[in-house]
Amino acid sequence: MSLLFSPLKVGPLTLKNRIVVPPMSQYSAGSDGVVAPWHARHIGSLAISGASMVISEALGVTPDGRITPHCLGLWNDTQARALQKLLTDIRTYSDTPIGVQLNHAGRKAGTSPPWIEHGAPLGSEQGGWHTVAPSAVPWRPGWSVPEALDEPGMDRILQAFISAARRALEAGVDFAELLAANGYLLSQFLSPLSNQRRDDYGGSPENRMRFPLRVAQALREIWPASLPLGVRFNGGEFADGGLELAEAVQFARELHRLGYDYLSVSGGYNVYNETPPAGQQGYMVPFAAAVKAALPDAIVITVGMIYEAKQADAILQERKADLIAVGRAILDDPHWPIHAAIAMGEKASWPKPYDRFGSRGWPGHKPQEA
């Protein structure tokens, strides 16, 4: 029997299989950060994909913490009510757990969507804003220099994370994920390439972890044990002098000690000139495998060019991870998990309105290869 289609308990939640949909930014909200019709279509489609849980795109905890002016936010009650309605509507046809990812983009905030000038920084006249970061180091040459956060600024952002988490609970999410990966603010604190501070928040790995762990602890303290709480962080960077894998494992140990229900291990995107092997299948799996080896009792998610069912199952069989995040493949094939189940000889659970078509096959169907 494949592990890919075996159940798994994550905190108090039992997942039906090991496939999760990771956050994928859509840049399709209005400037108010409220969910739009596109999000209803997008998340609704993912909720009937056959995956065991769906994680939303990154929601900004402050207006200036969004990646773009068209990213979702959770800094006010209007946004929370719209999110609540979206979840209520989806639950009329899907019981797939849906969670939110909470984020502050730091020095990578205030940009255009990637299809406009490749995500260039926006001036104030274009709807952009001045950014903040651990240090006054821009994301890349030509970008504005961010303001180095002082302790009151860090405290304000910490409180914003807490407020956003409380709004997520009011909206009725099934779980939440803290984003400390991919070059956004908490990830910027962790990396020596972006954190060049000389105070208690920079220098040694312990100091660089200090603010991310303050945020992580604060969320853990207010988040109920009845709902899972996870965190996504980088296992390393594809650039000289960046975050080391051993440091990432050290960070993972602290998160596990705080009681996080799962650890989602990503990598990179903290500097513009990194050189990741992005076309290589499973190129981030070694990061997750190292965390899993160090913390065998932790629930670990891996990601990164995993798009074949046998490949995903082998990662699980080799105990390199417990859950597989499948993103691009599900956008390409909205029923990838169902097709993967068929390819692996497992029972496929189609949405009831589709079952009479999908489960019996039809002449034009091309089965997925395992």
pLDDT digits (tens, 9 = 90+) for 49-90: 999 999 999 999 999 999 999 999 999 999 999 999 999 999
Contact partners, residue 59, CB within 8 Å, separation at least 6: 33, 71, 72, 73, 74, 79, 100, 101, 102, 103, 164
Of 247, 61, 283, residue with least CA distance to 159:
61
pLDDT-derived band at 358 (thresholds 50, 70, 90) equals: low
Confidence of residue 39 (pLDDT cuts 50, 70, 90): very high
- Whether the per-residue pLDDT at 364 is higher than 70: the answer is no
Q: What pLDDT sits at residue 132? A: 98
User: Which region among 116-125, 274-283, 360-369 has the lowest average model confidence (pLDDT)?
Assistant: 360-369
pLDDT grade for 362, boundaries at 50, 70 and 90: low
pLDDT band at 354 (very low <50, low <70, confident <90, very high): confident
Question: Tell me, what's the pLDDT at 16?
Answer: 98
d(CA 104, CA 260): 19
Among 11-20, 32-41, 230-239, 348-357, which stretch is predicted with the lowest mean pLDDT? 348-357
**Is 38's pLDDT higher than 80?**
yes
End-to-end CA distance of the chain: 14
**Residue 197 near residue 148, CB atoms below 8 Å:** yes
DSSP state of 121: B
Averaged pLDDT, 342-357: 87
Answer whether residue 261 shows pLDDT above 70: yes
184: annotated active-site residue: yes
| Sign for the pseudo-dihedral over CA of 112, 45, 72, 185 | negative
Q: Give the up-direction half-sphere exposure of residue 280: CA atoms within 13 A in the CB hemisphere.
A: 8
**Distance between CA atoms of 149 and 106, rounded to whole angstroms?**
10
Superfamily of domain 8-358: Aldolase class I (3.20.20.70)
Q: Tell me what pLDDT residue 125 has.
A: 82
Return the domain boundaries, the chain.
8-358
What is the pLDDT, as a whole number, of residue 359?
60
Per-position DSSP letters for 275-314, written without gaps between them: ---TTSTTTTHHHHHHHHHH-TTS-EEE-SS---HHHHHH
pLDDT in tens, 141-182: 999 999 999 999 999 999 999 999 999 999 999 999 999 999
With a cut of 70, say whether residue 313 has pLDDT above it: yes
Asked if residue 41 lies in contact with residue 35, where contact means CB atoms within 8 angstroms, the answer is no
pLDDT category of residue 361 using cuts at 50, 70 and 90: low
**CA separation for the pair 220, 229 (Å, rounded):** 7
DSSP string covering 54-67: EEEEEEESSGGGSS
Residue 367 has pLDDT above 80, yes or no: no
299, pLDDT greater than 90: yes
Q: What is the pTM of this model?
A: 0.96
Percent of the chain with pLDDT over 90: 89
| Average pLDDT value over all residues in the chain | 96
Strand boundaries in 212-254, DSSP class E: 229-234
pLDDT-above-70 percentage for the chain: 97
3-state SS assignment for residue 240 = coil
Of the residues 27, 184, 260, 262, only one is catalytic, namely: 184
Nearest to 184, CA basis, from 107, 73, 123: 107
pLDDT of residue 1: 76
Confidence of residue 309 (pLDDT cuts 50, 70, 90): very high
Residue 356 has a pLDDT of 75
- pLDDT of 365 reads 66
